[in-house]
Chains A and B, each alone.
Chain A
Amino acid sequence: MVDKTAMKSVTLRRALRSSGALLRPALSTIVALVGAFVTGAIILTSTGFNPMQVYYTMFQEAWYTEFGIRKILIETLPLLIIASGLLVCFRAGLWNVGCQGQMIIGGLLGNVVGYSLGTVPSPIIIPLMLIAGMIGGMAWVLPPAIMKARWDLNEIVTTLMLNFIAIDFELYLVKGPLRNAKISTHPMTTPIVATAELPKIPGTQVHIGLIIALALSVVVYLLMSRTTLGYQFRVLGGSTSAARYAGLPISRLIVLSLLISGATAGLAGAVEVAGVMRNIDPEWVPSYGLEAFPLVFLANFNALVIIPFSFLFSTFLVGGDLMHRALGLPIFFIDALLGLMLVFFGAAEAVRQLQLRWRGKKD
C-alpha cells in the first residue's frame, strides 16, 4: 500500500527535523541567558564594575554560603508557586500581569484568617489560611477575568490596574482596619497565632511551604499534561479558531485559567505570611509576580522545568542581594538582567519561527 522503504528515509529526515524542533526552544532559553549576561557585562563595565567579579560573587555568595542556600530555598518558594499558576494562564494565551496585587490580597486574607481563628488547631487552621489566600487571589483576578471573557477587554491593562489598586488598598487596610492596635510605633497587621505558622521541615530551617510549592508544580504539570482541562487550555492558547471548531467552552476556559493563576498568587502570599512574615507591614510589595514572568518563558512553559529555573532565578535574586552588600552594586541590576532575558528570549523565538518558515518553504 505505502512504500515503506521510501517512507523510512523520509521519516528519518523528518525525525531529525522534528527533534530539532524540540531542541530549539531550549536554544532560545540559552540565547536569552547568554544574551542577558553579556549585555549585563557591557553595562557593568561601563559603570566601572568588573563583570567577572560581579557574576562570580553573585553565584559564590548564593551557593557557597549556608546563609545563601537557605535564603535561596526560602525565596524560591513564592516564585515557584506563582510561576506554576502563571504557566497555566500563559499557555491558555492569557496575560496576567497582576500577580503582585493578587499575592498581596491573598496574604492579607490569609493573615486575617491566621489570627481570627486563634483556638483552632494547626492541622485545620493552616489549610484554612492557605485556602483563604487562594480565595483572595482569585477574587482579585475575577473582575479582569470576566471583563476579558465577556467583553474582550485587554487583561494586561485590567490586571495591572488592579495591581496598583491592591498596593494602595493594602496601605489603607494595614494602616486602618487591620492595624494591630497593640503596636503604636508603626502600623502593621496583627500577627497570626503560633499554631498557624507553617512548621519547618524537620532537620532544616526551611518551612514546609517548600513542599507545598514543589507539590503544586507537580500538580500543575499533571494538570496541563494529563487532564482534559489542561488540554483544553493548550488548545485555546494554540489556536482560538481551532478551539471554536472543536466546540470548546471558550469563555469558561478564559475565566478558569485566570482564576488558577490568581489562586496561586494568593496562595504564595498566604504562604509567605504563614511561613516567613507572620504579619504584614503596609509597604510589603513583593516583586515575585514580576520576576515570575520571564521565568515561565525561559522554562518554556514546562511545569517541571520551572522548578530548577525557580532556583536559578532566586539565585540571581539572592546572589544579587548578597553581591550588592559585598560589592556595592545596586540590586536593580538583577531586574535589568531579567528584563533583558525576556527581550532576548522574545527575539530568539522570533528568529526560530522565521527559520521554521524558511525551512517549510524549501521543502
Chain B
Amino acid sequence: MMSDAPGCAVRTVGITKRFAGVVANKSIDFDVMTGEIHGLLGENGAGKTTLSSIVSGYYQPDEGEIYVRGKLVRINSPKDALKLGIGMVYQHFSLVPRFKVVENVLLGLDVAGQKTKDLRTLANAITQRSAELGFSIDPWAEVSELSIGERQRVEILKVLFRGASIIILDEPTSVLAPVEVEGLFRTIKSLASQGRSVVFITHKLVEALEFCDRMTVLRSGTKVGTLSKSELQSTREIVQMMFGAEIEPTATRAITRVGDEVLRAEGIVVENDLGQEVVRDVSLTLHGGEVLGLAGVEGNGQKELAEALAAIRPLKAGRILIGGKSISGSNPAEQYDLGVAYITDDRVGEGLVRDLSVSENLVLKSFRRRPYRKGFVIDWRTVEKETDKLIEEYGIVALGPKSIVRTLSGGNLQKLLVARELSSKPIVLIANQPTHGLDARTTQYIHQKLIEQASQGRAVILISNDLDEVFSLSDRIAVIYRGEIIGLLPREQATREQVAHLMVGLRETSGGAQTATETS
C-alpha cells in the first residue's frame, strides 16, 4: 500500500466506473492536497462529474480505492462522505426552491452530525457568515425568489456550514455573471487559506488558470495529466490536453456552393425553465446546402436555442423566419411540417417513447402525413416497410419494426432518432449532440448522413461539443458561449485551437490568457 504524501487530503487510485456499457471513468488516479484549490478540467462527458460523485458518495466505483487523509475508506453514500468531511456542491438540484434559505442550509447540517441548532440561531449564523464573506442573504427568503447568483451563495453556505474540509464544486460559475464570480472566488480563496481543500470542476479554462493551484485534465474517462499553475507555459498545452491533439481530420467535407437562405434568426432571446435568459440576442442565418457547426460546451444555451428553432420553446424576444416567413407562436408539429427537423439530445426522455415499437416511434412526428395516414387510419404496413428500409439502411440492431424501443441500446436509439428526422427530408435539420456517447462506427455513419443532407441542398445546424466533428463537417463554425455567439468563421479560416479557446471563453491563444469580453 502506498503511503500518501503528507498533506494529502483525498486520493483515488484506479477508479473505474461503468454505466450501461459506457466507461465513464477509466482507472483514474487523482489526488488533492490540503489547502489547495485543484481544478478538474475536461469537456462534457469527460468523466469529471462521475469521478466527483464517486468521491462524494453518490455513486460507488466498480474498481479502485479511495484514501482520505491517508486511510483507505469505503464511501457508500453521501452520508458517509459527509462524515469524512467531503461535501459536493452539485451543478443543479441541490436546493429546494420552495424552502427558505435557512431551511436549505439546515438540511445539510443535521446530517453532518453537528449540534442541532434551531432555525433562528442558524439564521443569525448565516447572516454573520455571509457578511464575513462580503455578501448579504436574507435567511428567511424563499430560494425560488432569489437570483441565480444568490442561490449560488446559498449553495456555498450550505457547504460551509457542513464543515466540510474537502469541498467539490461542480461547475459553480456556469450561471454567474462575471461580477458574482469574483465574489465566489474570494470565498474559495479564504476557504483554502483556512486549510480546506477545494476541487473545482469546470470547463472554463480562464477561471481555472486564475484560481487553481493545480489542474487535472480528464478526457473520455481517462486522466490525461496534472499540471500545476507554475509549470504552465501557455494555454495551448492545457487546451490540447482537454480537446485532444491536433490531427487533421481525414474526412473533411469539400466546401460546396451554398444556396438560398432558408432560416434566419434575428435577435432571439430564450429563457430556460427557471426563467433565466440562456440565449441572449442571437442572430444567425442558414443557407441551403451548408452545415453550420455550432461549437460549445454543453450548458451554454444550445439546447434552448435548438428548442426555440424547433418551436418547442417560445421566444422571449426576436423572431425566426423560415423561407422568409416569420414563424411565431407555432408549435412543434407545424414546425415539422414546415420542414424543420430536430434531433434532440435527450434521446430517451423526449425523443422516443420507450414502450412503443421502433416503427411507432418512427412516425412520432410524421403520422399525420401521407403515405402513412389514410383518412384517420395509420397504414402500419407502409410504416413498417419504411421502418425495415431504415433499419437496413442505418444498420439499426433490432429484431424488426415491431421490437420495443426499450430493448435497443444507446447507439441504436440514436440511429433511430436520426433516421426518423432525416426521413422527412427536412429543409432545416437541427442536430443537437447527435453522436454523443456513440461508438466510432455509428458516429461515422451519422456524419455521412449529415453530409448527405447538405449535399442535397438542405441546411444543417450541428450543435456539438466535439471539435473533431465540428471541423470535419461544417462549412461555417460558430461558437456559443453563455448564450451568445462569440465567433463566426468560415471553416477554412478557423483553427481548432482558436475554436477551443473560444469554447472556454478565451479570445486569444497566448501565454497570457485574455478573457472574452462578456456583457452581463
Contact = CB atoms under 8 A, between A and B. Distances in A.
A245 B332 contact: yes
Interface residues of B, number: 42
Interface stretch (A194-202, A223-231, A272-280): A223-231
A246 B403 contact: no
Interface string A224-257: 0111110100110011011011111000000000
Contacts of B404: 18, 21-22
A228 B353 contact: no
A360 B378 contact: no
A10 interface: yes
B398 A231 contact: no
Contacts of A361: 19-20
Contacts of A22: 404
Contacts of A234: 353, 356, 360
A19 B349 CA distance: 24
Contacts of A238: 353-356
B31 to A, nearest CB: 30
A14 B363 CA distance: 22
A356 interface: yes
A7 interface: yes
Interface in B481-498: none
Contact of A14 (B350, B354, B355, B407): B407
Contact of A247 (B19, B331, B349, B406): B331
B409 A245 contact: no
A228 B399 contact: no
Contacts of B471: none
A183 interface: no
A11 interface: yes
Contacts of B356: 234-235, 238
Interface stretch (B118-126, B203-211, B231-239, B364-372): B364-372
A17 to B, nearest CB: 5
**Which label, helix, strand, loop or mixed, suits the secondary structure of the B interface?**
loop
A120 interface: no
Most buried by B among A7, A18, A225, A248: A18
A118 B354 CA distance: 53
B397 A242 contact: no
B17 to A, nearest CB: 12
Interface in B242-278: none
Interface in A327-358: 356
A176 B94 CA distance: 61
Given A10-B397, A231-B367, A245 B407 contact: no
Given A234-B356, A238-B353, A244-B312, A228 B377 contact: yes
Contact of B351 (A2, A235, A245): A245
**Which label, helix, strand, loop or mixed, suits the secondary structure of the A interface?**
helix
B333 A21 contact: no
B20 A7 contact: no
B339 to A, nearest CB: 14
Contacts of A2: 395, 441, 445
B373 interface: yes
A15 B354 CA distance: 17
A21 B406 contact: yes
Given A244-B312, A246-B333, A228 B373 contact: yes
Contact of A18 (B351, B355, B380, B399): B399
Interface in B374-423: 376-378, 380, 395, 397-399, 403-404, 406-409
Interface string A205-227: 00000000000000000000111
Interface of B: 19-21, 312, 331-336, 344, 349-356, 360, 363-365, 367-368, 373, 376-378, 380, 395, 397-399, 403-404, 406-409, 441, 445
15 contacts: A7-B395, A14-B408, A18-B398, A18-B399, A228-B367, A228-B376, A228-B377, A228-B378, A239-B352, A242-B349, A242-B353, A244-B332, A247-B335, A247-B336, A363-B20
CB-CB nearest 6 A-B residue pairs: A247-B333, A247-B332, A238-B353, A2-B395, A245-B350, A18-B403
Given A239-B352, A361-B20, 8 more contacts: A11-B399, A225-B380, A228-B373, A234-B356, A234-B360, A238-B355, A244-B312, A247-B332
